């Protein structure tokens, strides 16, 4: 096993197993002795309590955190703002985890040992600034495109089952033209002899959307 990489023998290392609602923390000494484990809520107050608790065991400069891009993202930003170096720790091999038994406290301890041994060295991303802003814009765009595609597919699936005259009047239309045509449907539409345009009476009373935008 690699030697601990800490130069100060009094320094401690923090390991954290993150979850949606709680975070489980473990503190190791420079020699790899487990000092304590504890659980904290994944809230601002919980972050402050966690850090104060860990610092109570000695000088603390590094923390190994699992899932720094998801459940541990907010905690990572907090610890970084408190001058800690946050090391991203990957979850261990699943087969090995099953053999030894899966517990959150053991995962937190393993995260701390990964930092102590030097096995984990990647500095966690800050999760803020222009890079994070661009990531959020990309996610929003991808979500909007997916929702638009689902709406188009649903509309065309409905048209497949409607009256032939109505269906044929919309065959070959581009998507924008199809949207406008559907928005203009009324109960007396000559291409809707069966009155299928009245499937949702509320649509006749709502403002027509602008599909040209």
Digit-coded pLDDT (tens) for 161-208: 888 888 888 888 898 888 888 888 876 555 554 444 444 433 334 344
Interatomic CA distance for residues 103 and 15, integer angstroms: 14
List the domain boundaries for the chain: 12-127, 130-204
pTM confidence score? 0.61
Which segments within 82-138 are labelled E, that is strand?
A: 85-89
Q: Which helix (H) or strand (E) holds 204?
A: none
Q: CB within 8 A of 169, min separation 6: which ones?
A: 181, 191
Interatomic CA distance for residues 92 and 135, integer angstroms: 27
Q: CB within 8 A of 131, min separation 6: which ones?
A: 125
pLDDT at 74: 93
Local structure of 171: helix, strand or coil: coil
Residues of the chain with pLDDT under 70: 1-7, 92-102, 126-133, 135, 187-213
CB 109 within 8 A of CB 15: yes
- In this structure, what token pair is assigned to residue 9? 């023998």
Q: Which CATH class is domain 12-127?
A: alpha beta
CB 50 within 8 A of CB 22: no
Local structure of 157: helix, strand or coil: helix
């Amino acid at each position: 096993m690699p030697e601990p990489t800490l130069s100060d023998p009094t320094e401690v290392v923090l390991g954290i197993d993150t979850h949606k609602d709680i975070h489980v923390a473990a503190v190791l000494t420079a020699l790899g002795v487990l000092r304590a484990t504890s659980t904290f809520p994944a809230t601002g107050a919980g972050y402050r309590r966690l850090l104060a608790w860990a610092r109570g065991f000695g000088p603390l400069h590094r923390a190994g955190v699992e899932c720094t891009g998801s459940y541990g993202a907010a905690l990572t930003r907090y610890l970084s703002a408190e001058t800690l170096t946050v090391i991203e720790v990957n979850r261990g091999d699943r087969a090995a985890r099953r053999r030894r038994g899966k517990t959150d406290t053991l995962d937190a301890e393993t995260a701390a040992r990964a930092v102590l041994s030097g096995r984990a060295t990647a500095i966690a991303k800050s999760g803020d600034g222009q890079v994070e802003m661009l990531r959020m814009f990309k996610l929003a765009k991808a979500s909007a495109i997916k929702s638009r595609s689902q709406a188009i597919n649903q509309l065309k699936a409905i048209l497949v089952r409607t009256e032939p005259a109505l269906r044929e009047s919309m065959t070959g239309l581009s998507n924008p033209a199809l949207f406008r045509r559907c928005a203009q449907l009324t109960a007396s539409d000559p291409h809707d002899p069966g009155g299928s345009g009245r499937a949702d009476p509320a649509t006749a009373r709502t403002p027509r959307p602008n599909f040209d935008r």
